[in-house]
Amino acid sequence: MNYQAILEEIHEEVLDLLPCGTVATYIPQLATVSPQKFGMAVQTVGGEIFHVGHALEPFSIQSISKVYTLTLGFTFEGEKLWTRVGVEPSGSTFNSLVQLEYEHGIPRNPFINAGALVISDILLSHLKNPQSSFLEYVRQRANTVSIQDDPQVARSERQAGFRNAAMANFLKSFSNLSNEVEEVLAFYCFHCSLSMSCVDLAKGFLFLANKGLCPWTNQQILTPSQTKRVNALMLTCGTYDAAGDFAFNVGLPGKSGVGGGIVAVIPNRLTVAVWSPGLNDKGNSFAGQYALELFTTKTGVSIF
């Protein structure tokens, strides 16, 4: 399929939408990004890559990093992981403490903030040098050494992140964190602060479209069965409390971040990454989600 032509069509069609979203402002580094940015990249399992717009420009991946922490934590813990975090959609806002209280400290899934904090805690328990090891893991997945964290973003996030601090303390009160609250928060802010481009993301998640095999290192990152499960989780829980809407309109497993990035997987075929900083009222990239809708419409690819 002529993905390049399709990406170019999409690019043109979304330009008018870029001002519709609202750039996240809760930390200064996100607020300064131009809402006019738009990039999109497709990486096929056959090895082809296509991209348009600002697809080579790194941006803050934020919650997209939670897919990597999950896959790494899943490798470490196997099925045991699910005793500390669930696999159900949250059905409410992404940082709700309410559900956590009613469900006694077991977060609904690994993609809501509470769940990601638990996964961060698990990685801290397994990694001697958590930050450098995690960064290396991400670089290998994307086959590029240039991926960096942004200490300023991490610091701002930590300083502004009273809700996350509330959540981490709350999890600790339920004994669902083994490490110190401060360490967990610091590592969480670290992995959210990674900067990657659309091309990095499309390459970096190809293993999820490839039955768990990372083509760049030829490593089996997850078993095929584990890979299906991670994809299923992205579909049901990957876009905060808009997961139903995303499945309904886009129809692909995907994960979004407040930096405006979304990555989606078409199993056995390709990954597609998109970036546009303006967010819709659910915290997902406004133009990005629409671009993915156009992509499934124009290509006819869908899992449904």
Which residues contribute to the site for a copy of itself (CB under 8 A)? 86-92, 96-99, 101-102, 108-109, 162-163, 165-170, 172-173, 181, 225, 227-229, 231-233, 235-237, 241-245, 247-249, 251, 253, 267, 297, 302-304
Look at residues 242, 246, 261, 247 and name the one whose alpha carbon lies nearest to residue 204.
261
Shortest reach from residue 162's CB to a copy of itself, in Å: 4
Nearer to a copy of itself, 23 or 242 (CB): 242
Q: Which of 42, 240, 263, 285 is catalytic?
A: 240
Q: State the alpha helices, DSSP H only, in the chain.
A: 3-14, 28-31, 65-77, 98-102, 113-126, 130-142, 151-160, 162-173, 181-192, 198-204, 206-209, 224-237, 243-249, 286-299
The answer to whether 188 is a known catalytic residue is: yes
What are the φ/ψ torsions at residue 226 (nearest 5 degrees)? -60, -40
Shortest reach from residue 108's CB to a copy of itself, in Å: 7
Nearer to a copy of itself, 9 or 103 (CB): 103
Shortest reach from residue 241's CB to a copy of itself, in Å: 7
Nearer to a copy of itself, 125 or 249 (CB): 249
Nearer to a copy of itself, 4 or 95 (CB): 95
State how far the Cα of 246 lies from the Cα of 235, in Å rounded to an integer: 8
The answer to whether 102 is a known catalytic residue is: no
* CA neighbours closer than 13 Å in the CB half-sphere of residue 48: 10
Distance from the first to the final alpha carbon of the chain: 19
Q: Which of 118, 181, 258, 263 is catalytic?
A: 258
Shortest reach from residue 304's CB to a copy of itself, in Å: 4
State how far the Cα of 194 lies from the Cα of 64, in Å rounded to an integer: 9
Nearer to a copy of itself, 98 or 128 (CB): 98
State how far the Cα of 152 lies from the Cα of 259, in Å rounded to an integer: 15
User: How many other C-beta atoms can be found within 10 angstroms of the C-beta atom of residue 13?
Assistant: 14
The answer to whether 128 is a known catalytic residue is: no
State how far the Cα of 270 lies from the Cα of 44, in Å rounded to an integer: 4
Q: Which of 14, 33, 63, 255 is catalytic?
A: 63
DSSP states of 158-204: HHH-HHHHHHHHHHHHTT---S-HHHHHHHHHHHHT-EE-HHHHHHH
Nearer to a copy of itself, 81 or 135 (CB): 81
Shortest reach from residue 51's CB to a copy of itself, in Å: 25
- Our CA angle for 138, 243, 251, nearest 5°, is 85
The tokens 């991490």 sit on which residue? 154
Q: Which of 23, 188, 255, 265 is catalytic?
A: 188
Active-site residue numbers?
63, 66, 188, 240, 258
